[in-house]
Structure 1
Amino acid sequence: MKAVKIITYNPKNQKSDFEFYALSKGLNSGKPLDNPCPNCFVISCRNAEELDVYRSLLFGLWKTKAFHQFLISSVIPYIRIGDFKNFVFEQASHLKGKEKVFKNDIRRVKTLEQRERHIHEQLRLISELKRIYIARHLKW
Structure 2
Amino acid sequence: MQFTERLKLDGAKWVRSQNFWLFGTATFKDGSRIYDSDAISDAKHFFNILDRQILERKDTSQGKRLDRLVFLEHGRLGANTHIHFFIKGTHLSQYKAITKFAPMIWQERIAKAHNLILKDNIGLDDTRSEYCWKEIKSYQRDVLLTECCHLSNS
TM-score (norm 2): 0.26
Higher relative contact order (CA 8 A, sep 6+): 2
Larger relative helix fraction = 1
TM-score (norm 1): 0.28
